[in-house]
Amino acid sequence: MHFPCSYPSQLQELSTLRLSRPGLPGAGYALWVGYSLLHLITDASKEGWGAHLEPLSLIISGMWSHQESHLHINHYEMRAVFLAVSNF
């Protein structure tokens, strides 16, 4: 599944997010430490991506296109966030 978008500008918007606290590389940490009604969990690999939205139990996933298969893992991770937010 491939979702076309004008993502350079949208990724730039995502890059303006500030982390609420520093974390260890690879450990993962929250962007928001306050109360929230929804929790979005995303993950990406070289093959594809997935996301889960709680407490609604919504799940979405997809595979990268052949053109995307050579990108850096950081690109995959940010794209997974973008696709999840765009499609939920």
1 pLDDT band (50/70/90 cuts)? very low
Residue 9 domain-assigned? no
Residue 71 domain-assigned? yes
Q: Give the model confidence (pLDDT) of 24-83 as tens digits.
A: 555 566 666 777 788 899 999 999 999 999 999 999 999 999 999 899 999 999 999 999
pTM: 0.61
DSSP-derived secondary structure for 30-70: -S--S--S-EEEEEE-SSEEEEEEETTTEEEEEE--GGGTT
Number of domains in the chain: 1
Please give the residue range of the domain that contains residue 63: 39-88
Residue 46, pLDDT score = 93
